[in-house]
């Protein structure tokens, strides 16, 4: 029986087959659980350091949340730019926003590799300057895109840490972004974090397919499915 449980645990990072000691968990499993909880909390409070991102030409903005404490207590402030923010306006096909979200650790680890994989697939697209946003939630990308004059926006954001993953990156695509865009108008690729989640190349391929379809059909969100955007199989 022990061998069977070991095989089950080895097949997933989910917390399964933990066993028990009386009415509680075995001590080793309990300590693992507490360590995972501490790691998740650390990931949320880990500060974003733009210097760790190899994006020397990126523009930097800040949300209306003054600091991490206010950001966590006032989600609405994380969705709007700080007063007085100015960005160079142009006419662009797409803007990319790298946002700390709820896991700056995920941004440090995965944002630049996946962004490079996406940009390598965008020959012929007019791409706005990349923007790095601090204390930012997904909807902040709408204001950034409007300010830059971009027809769609992709927000690369650190996802809420879980008990088995503290560094998951999410990619949110919105066509024709505007203030007040509902979440139903966005497409999300979640859990980008190789080797345990989606790999960079796979995420980039799917995202660019969605972007291409969004531009062709003039929409994003629930009306745009990844399966429909994918080319027919052999």
Please list, residue by residue across 165-185, b when 16 or more beta carbons sit within 10 angstroms of its beta carbon and e when fewer do: bbbbbbbbbbbbbeeebeeeb
Task: Of 141, 136, 117, give the one whose Cα is nearest residue 198.
Answer: 117
CA-to-CA distance for 125 and 127, rounded, in angstroms? 6
DSSP E strand stretches across 67-151: 95-99, 131-134
107 in a labelled binding site: no
188 in a labelled binding site: yes
At residue 188, what are phi and psi to the nearest 5 degrees? -125, 130
157 in a labelled binding site: no
Task: Of 96, 116, 108, 97, give the one whose Cα is nearest residue 48.
Answer: 108
Helix (H) or strand (E) holding 155: strand 152-158
Contacts of 66 (CB under 8 A, 6+ apart): 135
Known binding-site residue numbers for adenosylcob(III)alamin = 138, 159, 188
Known binding-site residue numbers = 138, 159, 188
């Amino acid at each position: 029986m022990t061998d069977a449980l070991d095989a089950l645990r080895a097949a997933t990072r989910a917390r399964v087959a933990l066993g028990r000691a009386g009415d509680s968990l075995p001590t080793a499993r309990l300590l693992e659980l507490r360590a995972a909880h501490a790691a998740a909390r650390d990931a949320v409070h880990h500060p974003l350091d733009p210097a760790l991102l190899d994006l020397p030409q990126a523009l930097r903005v800040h949300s209306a949340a003054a600091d991490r404490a206010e950001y966590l207590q006032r989600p609405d402030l994380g969705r709007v730019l700080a007063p007085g923010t100015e960005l160079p306006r142009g006419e662009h096909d797409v803007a990319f926003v790298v946002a700390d979200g709820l896991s700056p650790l995920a941004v440090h680890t995965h944002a630049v590799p996946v962004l490079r994989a996406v940009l390598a697939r965008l020959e012929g697209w007019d791409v706005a300057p990349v923007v790095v946003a601090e204390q930012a939630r997904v909807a902040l990308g709408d204001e950034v895109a409007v300010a830059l004059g971009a027809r769609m926006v992709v927000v690369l954001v650190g996802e809420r840490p879980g008990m088995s993953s503290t560094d998951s990156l999410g990619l949110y695509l919105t066509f024709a972004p505007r203030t007040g865009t509902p979440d139903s108008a966005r497409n999300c690729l979640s859990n980008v974090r190789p080797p345990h989640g989606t790999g960079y190349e796979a995420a980039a391929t799917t995202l660019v397919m969605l972007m291409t379809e969004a531009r062709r059909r003039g929409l994003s969100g629930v009306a745009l499915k990844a399966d429909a955007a994918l080319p027919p199989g052999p």
